[in-house]
């Protein structure tokens, strides 16, 4: 394509990760012309390398309506994107190791019941042993979401990307956004080689979204982060649900091929200016010790590799979704703080509905970028 060419569409989406592709696909399904500008490749960062949890369990209260809606979409992904994305509804479970932690879980379930939610279920020691026979004897109980599970993150992002392409979304890959400027009531989005004009822009730039937000006058206190993951050699099947803990940093699941994927919050160093991450050996060792404490037989498992993606963490650990506070016809969807994968289908549908109709069935008020006051 010739340098400095100009491409027009009704909407430009900045960022081709899962949320960007989901927004683009859902807009296109509503008849909107869409260009996606992605500086690297779809799934290159957090969307393609996360733990793959499809989780309603232990969501922030503000996220629960989106999460419930998203699970329904996960169950229908073959009809939406032509691929089940490796989704396995094995359940997700959060284990308590002490009576105090069990009381914490009981209080959480009571709080949800009072709000009309029944997706989290408290279980005692006996049901925990049935669901997770390999768990250590000292574990006293758990809370479980039986319809939750996991999927393949890169496969999911790629499926959304291909489905969006098939619907006519234009992707422009490998060239980052240098400027976003007013163009009458609309926008000009400039890269080093191309200019995109559109009525509306959607910022789905992940760990780089604060830079895009600043171009239109919005403030977003994004902290780039590098959540680390470990995968082991294949071992004999011992686990169905995805496991987390109340008092420890752990996300733990066994894939269909027998490998065990371990995460849960230990972070490396994110170098977003160079698109690189640096692993923290001490954090990896802490994850390994946690696994052995809860699953003693894992002491003999060998680690095959470890990695980290670059993720955007917000101060309150919930995302920014919705319209700009500083500029008309500009929207955001970023800052998912390490737990946005499951929300991707519903975020795309809900934000597209908001853009096209001016309203959405699921309120996005809690996710407004306006909750972060501009610095002095």
Helix (H) or strand (E) holding 121: strand 121-124
- What pLDDT shows up at residue 4? 64
- Residue closest to 19 by CA, chosen among 227, 221, 280, 206: 206
Rounded CA gap, 17 and 203, in Å? 11
- What pLDDT shows up at residue 1? 40
Rounded CA gap, 338 and 347, in Å? 15
Q: Give every CB contact of residue 366 below 8 A, 6+ residues apart in sequence.
A: 62, 318
Instruction: Please say whether the dihedral angle defined by the alpha carbons of residues 343, 344, 345 and 348, taken in this order, is positive or negative.
Output: positive
Which tokens hold the place of 130? 């049935």
User: In the chain, which residues have pLDDT < 50?
Assistant: 1-2
For each of the domains in the chain, give its residue range(s) and CATH number, in order of start.
Answer: 5-52+154-220+316-371 (3.50.50.60), 93-148+223-313 (3.30.9.10)
Q: Give every CB contact of residue 122 below 8 A, 6+ residues apart in sequence.
A: 105, 106, 109, 141, 142, 143
Whole-Å CA distances, 27 to 21, 34, 63, 153, 204:
10, 7, 22, 22, 14
Which tokens hold the place of 23? 């927004």
Q: Give every CB contact of residue 247 below 8 A, 6+ residues apart in sequence.
A: 96, 97, 98, 101
Rounded CA gap, 71 and 6, in Å? 39
- What pLDDT shows up at residue 68? 98
pLDDT tens figures, 118-176: 999 999 999 999 999 999 999 999 999 999 999 999 999 999 999 999 999 999 999 99
Phi then psi dihedrals of residue 78, to 5 deg = -55, -35
Task: State the pTM of this model.
Answer: 0.94
Rounded CA gap, 129 and 125, in Å? 6
């Amino acid at each position: 394509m010739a340098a400095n060419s100009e491409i027009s569409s009704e909407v430009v989406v900045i960022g081709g990760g899962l949320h960007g592709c989901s927004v683009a696909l859902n807009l296109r399904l509503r008849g909107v012309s869409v260009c996606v500008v992605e500086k690297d490749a779809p799934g290159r960062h957090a969307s393609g390398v996360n733990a793959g949890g499809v989780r309603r369990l232990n969501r922030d209260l503000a996220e629960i309506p989106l999460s419930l809606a998203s699970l329904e979409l996960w169950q229908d992904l073959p009809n939406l994107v032509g691929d089940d994305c490796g989704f396995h509804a094995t359940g997700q479970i959060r284990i308590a190791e002490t009576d105090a932690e069990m009381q914490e879980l009981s209080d959480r379930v009571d709080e949800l019941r009072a709000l009309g939610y029944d997706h989290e279920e408290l279980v005692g020691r006996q049901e925990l042993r049935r669901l997770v026979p390999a768990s250590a004897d000292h574990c006293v109980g758990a809370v479980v979401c039986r319809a939750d599970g996991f999927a393949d993150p890169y496969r999911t992002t790629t499926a959304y990307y291909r489905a969006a392409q098939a619907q006519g979304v234009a992707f422009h890959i490998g060239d980052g956004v240098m400027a976003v400027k007013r163009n009458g009531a609309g926008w000009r989005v400039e890269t080093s080689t191309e200019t995109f004009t559109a009525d509306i822009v959607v910022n789905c730039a992940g760990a780089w979204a604060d830079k895009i937000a600043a171009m239109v006058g919005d403030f977003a206190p994004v902290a780039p982060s590098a959540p680390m993951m470990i995968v082991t050699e294949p071992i004999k099947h011992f686990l169905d649900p995805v496991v987390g803990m109340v008092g420890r940093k752990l996300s733990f699941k066994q894939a269909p091929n027998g490998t065990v994927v371990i995460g849960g919050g230990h972070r490396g160093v994110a170098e977003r200016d160079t698109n690189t991450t640096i692993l923290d050996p001490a954090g990896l060792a802490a994850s390994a010790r946690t696994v052995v404490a809860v699953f003693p037989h894992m002491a003999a498992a060998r680690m095959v590799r470890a990695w980290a993606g670059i993720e955007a963490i917000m101060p309150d650990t919930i995302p920014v979704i919705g319209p700009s506070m500083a500029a008309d016809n500009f929207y955001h969807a970023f800052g998912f703080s390490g737990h946005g994968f499951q929300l991707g289908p519903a975020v795309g549908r809900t934000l597209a509905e908001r853009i096209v109709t001016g309203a959405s069935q699921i309120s996005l008020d809690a996710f407004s970028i306006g909750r972060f006051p501009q610095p002095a």
